[in-house]
C-alpha cells in the first residue's frame, strides 16, 4: 500500500442538543477529518476525536491540526496501517491525531482488499449491542424523560453523567423510575479518593459500573477506591496504552475498561488492549466522543472484536446531527443493535458535498 496524498479538513458540525459533562458543555463539534489516497485513487477516511478544548485530555482540535499537517502526515506516506503505529512512536502524545491517520489507512487497506474494515480488524460479531450516553440535563425530570425515549428506541444500556452535587439524588430518581434497566454512571474524573464514603453509597443502586470517578491520569487511587466499593470501576481516560491496562489490571484498579480508538492512538493499540483484557477476563466496551459518522463507523468496526461484550456508546446518527456526513446514516434496530456493513472499508459513503458545506480549513500533503 502506498499513500500518495493526505487531505485534512476541519468541519464545524452543530449538535442537535447540547451535551454536558462534569467538565463542560458542548454545542458544536470542531472535527478534523483525514482522507488518505493511494496511487490508484482509492481513498480511506479517518476522524480526529479531539475536543474543542483540552478538557478530556491534553489534546484538542487546535493542537491536533499542526501535529497532523507538519509532523504526522508527512511521516505516513507509503506506510502500512500496522507500520504507521511504529513510525509514530518517537512522537510523544498526540494519540488522537495519530489515530486519525492510522484509522484512515486501515480504511484504505480494507477498500484495497475489497473487505469490510471490521473483518480486516479481526471482528466476529455480526450484530453489536448499543447503549446511550446522556449528558447532564437541566432537571431530573428532563433526564427521566430522555431515558424514557432512549429505552423506547431499544437501547440496551443507559449511561448518565454525574458530578459532585448531582449524583446520589439523580441516580436514586433514575433507579426509582427504572429499577431494572442496566445503568452506569460516568464521572469524568470529578471526584477524589476522599469521596469514597459518598461513592460507596452508589452500591445500593446496583450500577453496572462507575466510569473514571477519580483523576484522569490515575490508576493507584482507583485501586484503593475499588477495594472500598462494590460497584465495578471502569477506567477510561487513564488507559492510553496497553501498558496502562496491564498495570490497572495488576493493581485491581478496575473491573471493566472502556476502549476508545482515538484515545489509545489507533486500531492497532485498541486491538492489543482488547486482546489483553480478553485474556484476563476483563470485559471491554467502546466509548464515544461525539463522533461524526466517519468516527462512528470506525467504532462499529472496532466493537465487533470478541472482547467487546458490553453495550457501547455507539448510537444512531440522528441522536446528534441534523444531517450526518455519511450515507446512509448510522441507525439502531428496535432491539438496540447495529449490524456492521458488508461493504468494503468502513461500509458507508462519505458525503463530500456535505463536508464541503461544513469545511472551515483545509490542507493537502502530497
Per-position DSSP letters for 286-335, written without gaps between them: E---S--HHHHHHHHHHTTSTTB-S-BS---GGGT-SS-SEESPP---TT
Rounded distance between C-alpha atoms, residue 153 and residue 149, angstroms? 6
How many other C-beta atoms are found inside a 10 Å radius of the C-beta of residue 41? 8
| DSSP secondary structure letter of residue 93 | S
Give the per-residue pLDDT at 366: 86
Give the per-residue pLDDT at 20: 82
Residue 279 backbone dihedrals phi, psi, to 5 degrees: -65, -25
Question: Grid coordinates representing 238?
Answer: 487513564
Rounded distance between C-alpha atoms, residue 120 and residue 109, angstroms? 9
Look up cell 491520569; give the residue: 217
Question: Grid coordinates representing 48?
Answer: 480526529
Give the per-residue pLDDT at 275: 98
Give the per-residue pLDDT at 79: 76
Give the per-residue pLDDT at 232: 98
Beta-ladder partners of 21: 24
How many other C-beta atoms are found inside a 10 Å radius of the C-beta of residue 19? 18
The catalytic residue among 161, 201, 224, 280 is: 161
Give the per-residue pLDDT at 81: 67
260 belongs to the catalytic site: yes
Rounded distance between C-alpha atoms, residue 331 and residue 33, angstroms? 21
Question: Is residue 157 within 8 Å of residue 311, measured between CB atoms?
Answer: yes
Tell me the average confidence (pLDDT) per consecutive run of 10 residues in the chain, 366 residues long.
91 92 87 95 97 95 97 88 86 97 96 97 95 93 96 95 95 97 96 98 98 98 98 98 98 98 96 98 96 98 97 94 97 96 97 98 95
The catalytic residue among 98, 159, 163, 260 is: 260
Question: Structure pTM?
Answer: 0.96
Give the per-residue pLDDT at 85: 85
The H or E element spanning position 10 is strand 3-21
Amino acid at each position: 500500500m502506498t499513500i500518495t496524498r493526505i487531505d485534512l479538513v476541519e468541519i464545524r458540525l452543530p449538535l442537535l442538543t447540547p451535551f454536558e459533562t462534569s467538565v463542560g458543555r458542548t454545542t458544536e463539534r470542531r472535527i478534523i477529518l483525514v482522507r488518505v489516497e493511494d496511487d490508484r485513487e482509492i481513498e480511506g477516511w479517518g476522524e480526529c476525536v479531539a475536543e474543542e478544548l483540552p478538557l478530556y485530555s491534553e489534546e484538542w482540535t487546535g493542537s491536533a491540526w499542526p501535529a497532523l499537517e507538519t509532523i504526522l502526515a508527512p511521516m505516513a506516506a507509503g506506510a502500512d496501517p500496522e507500520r504507521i503505529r511504529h513510525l509514530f512512536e518517537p512522537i510523544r502524545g498526540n494519540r488522537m491525531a495519530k489515530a486519525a491517520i492510522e484509522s484512515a489507512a486501515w480504511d484504505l487497506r480494507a477498500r484495497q482488499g475489497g473487505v469490510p474494515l471490521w473483518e480486516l480488524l479481526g471482528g466476529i460479531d455480526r450484530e453489536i449491542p448499543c447503549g446511550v450516553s446522556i449528558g447532564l440535563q437541566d432537571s431530573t425530570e428532563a433526564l427521566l424523560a430522555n431515558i424514557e425515549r432512549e429505552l423506547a428506541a431499544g437501547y440496551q444500556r443507559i449511561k448518565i453523567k454525574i458530578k459532585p452535587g448531582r449524583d446520589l439524588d439523580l441516580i436514586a430518581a433514575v433507579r426509582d423510575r427504572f429499577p431494572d434497566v442496566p445503568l452506569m454512571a460516568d464521572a469524568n474524573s470529578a471526584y477524589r479518593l476522599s469521596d469514597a464514603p459518598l461513592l460507596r453509597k452508589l452500591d445500593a443502586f446496583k450500577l453496572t459500573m462507575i466510569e473514571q470517578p477519580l483523576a484522569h491520569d490515575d490508576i493507584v487511587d482507583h485501586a484503593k477506591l475499588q477495594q472500598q466499593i462494590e460497584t465495578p470501576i471502569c477506567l477510561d481516560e487513564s488507559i492510553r496504552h496497553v501498558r496502562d491496562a496491564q498495570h490497572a489490571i495488576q493493581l485491581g484498579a478496575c473491573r471493566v475498561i472502556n476502549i476508545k480508538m482515538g484515545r489509545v492512538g489507533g486500531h492497532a493499540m485498541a486491538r492489543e488492549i482488547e486482546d489483553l483484557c480478553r485474556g484476563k477476563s476483563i470485559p471491554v466496551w467502546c466509548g464515544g466522543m461525539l463522533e461524526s459518522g466517519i468516527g462512528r463507523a470506525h467504532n462499529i468496526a472496532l466493537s465487533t472484536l470478541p472482547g467487546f461484550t458490553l453495550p457501547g456508546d455507539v448510537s444512531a446518527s440522528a441522536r446528534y446531527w441534523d444531517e450526518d456526513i455519511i450515507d446512509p446514516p448510522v441507525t439502531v434496530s428496535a432491539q438496540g443493535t447495529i449490524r456492521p456493513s458488508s461493504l468494503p472499508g468502513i461500509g458507508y459513503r462519505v458525503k463530500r458535498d456535505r463536508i464541503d458545506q461544513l469545511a472551515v480549513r483545509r490542507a493537502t500533503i502530497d
